[in-house]
Structure formats: C-alpha cells, structure tokens
Amino acid sequence: MHIIITKKIFSDIRDYDPSIIRIEFKKTLCPNKSQKRSKQLELWKMITVASYYEKLMNSTRSRNVRQAVVYIRELDAAANRINSTIETLDQITNEVNNEIGCYTEDFTKSWITETDALKNNLYQLSIQLQKQQKAINNVANHFSRSIKVINGMNDNLREHKSLLKKCRIFDINILALIKLVRLQSRKMVASAKEHWSVEDLKTLPLAIDELNKVVINLGNLRTACKLIAPTSLPDEKDIANLIHQA
C-alpha cells in the first residue's frame, strides 16, 4: 500500500531519494516493524516533497508546474493534518489541565480535611496520653508509698523478732535463776539447821522469807516480760502478699 502511494507521488520524478527507497523496501519486508515508523516516514516524505516542490516552483514548464501543483496540494493536506493534530493536542491538553485542576482542587480539599482530622486526632491522643501519664504517676506514687510502708513493716518485723528472741532468752534465764534460788535456799536451810546456833536459827525464817520474796519478784518480772513481749507478729507470707498487691 505504501509502495503504491510512493509511486503515485514520485511517478514523474527521475531522481528518487535513495533513503526513501530503502525505507519502502524495508517496509515491504517487515510490515509490523515499519508500522512503528510510519509517522517518521510520512514526515520524511513531506520533507522530500517540499524539497522537490522548491526545485520546481520557479520552473515555467507546464509539466513541472502541474507536478508542483500536486506537491503543494500534498503539502497543504499535510499542513491541515498537522494543524488538526495540533488542535486535537491543544484540546486534549486543555482537558487534561482541567482534569488536573479538578483533581488538584479535590486533592487539596481532601488533604486539608484529612490533615485537620489528623491534627485533631493527635491532639486528642496527646490529651489521653497526658491523662494516662498522670494516672501512671499516681499509681507509681501509691506504689512508692506502699513499698515504704512494707519496708517499715519488714523493719518492725525484724525488730519484733529480735525483741521476742531477747524476751524468750530473758524468760529462760529468769526461770533458771528462780530454780537456782530455790535450790540454794533449800541447801542453805539444810546447812543452817546443821551448823547454825540456836540464836542464828531464829533469823532463818526471815532469810527464807527474803529468798521467797526474791523468787516471787523474779516470777513477777517473768510475767511482766511475757506481758510486754510481742505475742502476734505478721507472717512473712503476709508481707509477700502485700508486696505482690502493691
């Protein structure tokens, strides 16, 4: 098809452009590949037609004039196609610009709306974080106070255990002392009855009374120690539970 058109255009031309001939030949061999270069080929054809028209435009021979008229018609048709293409491109460009403008406006509005919503969400989130931070600080302060109380309870427990141990040792010592006083009292009475004189034996009841008073006082002291000794101490498991709760 393209070869026929070329022959029609250049049928009266003796000096064909070799590059055009090569292109036409390649198009015949590779039509699919040549279709990709059809627009470029058409451009070169118009350039060639313009070159031949320039050669013939000043000629007065009737044959050259007729051929020049054919060339100028081809060039006018190509110019019309170019102008039509330019107008189409201008129309497409305007439509694209309008679409871009609409999209840009819509995108700007959407961007502003979403940005404002994001700022508002971030503000609300910051307020919630501040509240949570305050609540966390309150919990931390309460935990710190609880730990101090528990540490105080541990210290008191250790002191109570130490005091209880001392009280038990003191009670054992007093009990041993009471037993010792009673034993020594019996030994003293037995020895006095064997070795004391009659006059000295008169004072023996007084001595026994004094020793009994000593035993009674030691018993009272033992009772007092039991009264002031810690009787109910918090268990270590209870303190561990308090720490876990804190």
pLDDT in tens, 85-108: 788 878 888 887 888 888 788 888
Residues 33 and 97 in one domain: yes
Amino acid at 156: N
Answer with the one of 102, 120, 135 that is the final residue of a domain.
102
Residue 205: CB atoms within 10 A of its CB come to: 10
Task: Collapse the DSSP code of 230 into the 3-class scheme (helix H, G, I; strand E, B; otherwise coil) and give the result.
Answer: coil
pTM > 0.75: no
Contact residues for 204 (Cβ-Cβ < 8 A; gap 6+) = 189, 192, 193, 196
Give a yes or no: residue 194 inside a domain: yes
- Is 50 exceeded by the pLDDT of residue 73? yes
Per-residue pLDDT, 207 = 80
Task: Collapse the DSSP code of 185 into the 3-class scheme (helix H, G, I; strand E, B; otherwise coil) and give the result.
Answer: helix
Give a yes or no: residue 62 inside a domain: yes
- Lookup: tokens for 114: 């979403």
Give a yes or no: residue 90 inside a domain: yes
Residues 91 and 27 in one domain: yes
Give a yes or no: residue 109 inside a domain: no
- Could you give the C-alpha distances from 194 to 129, 182, 186, 199, 208, in angstroms and in order? 96, 19, 13, 13, 16
Give a yes or no: residue 80 inside a domain: yes
Per-residue pLDDT, 15 = 42
Q: Is the dihedral of CA 153, 155, 156, 162 positive or negative?
A: positive
Give the whole-angstrom CA distance, residue 53 versus residue 70: 9
What is the span of the domain harbouring residue 160?
Answer: 151-245
Per-residue pLDDT, 22 = 56
Residues 72 and 6 in one domain: yes
Give a yes or no: residue 23 inside a domain: yes
Give a yes or no: residue 110 inside a domain: no
Give a yes or no: residue 127 inside a domain: no
Answer with the one of 62, 82, 102 that is the final residue of a domain.
102
Q: Is-contact 207 188, C-beta < 8 A?
A: yes
Q: Is-contact 67 56, C-beta < 8 A?
A: yes
pLDDT in tens, 158-198: 887 787 788 788 888 888 888 888 888 888 888 877 887 77
Q: Which of 87, 88, 68, 65 is nearest to 76 (CA)?
A: 68
Domains contained in the chain, number: 2
pLDDT in tens, 232-243: 555 555 555 655
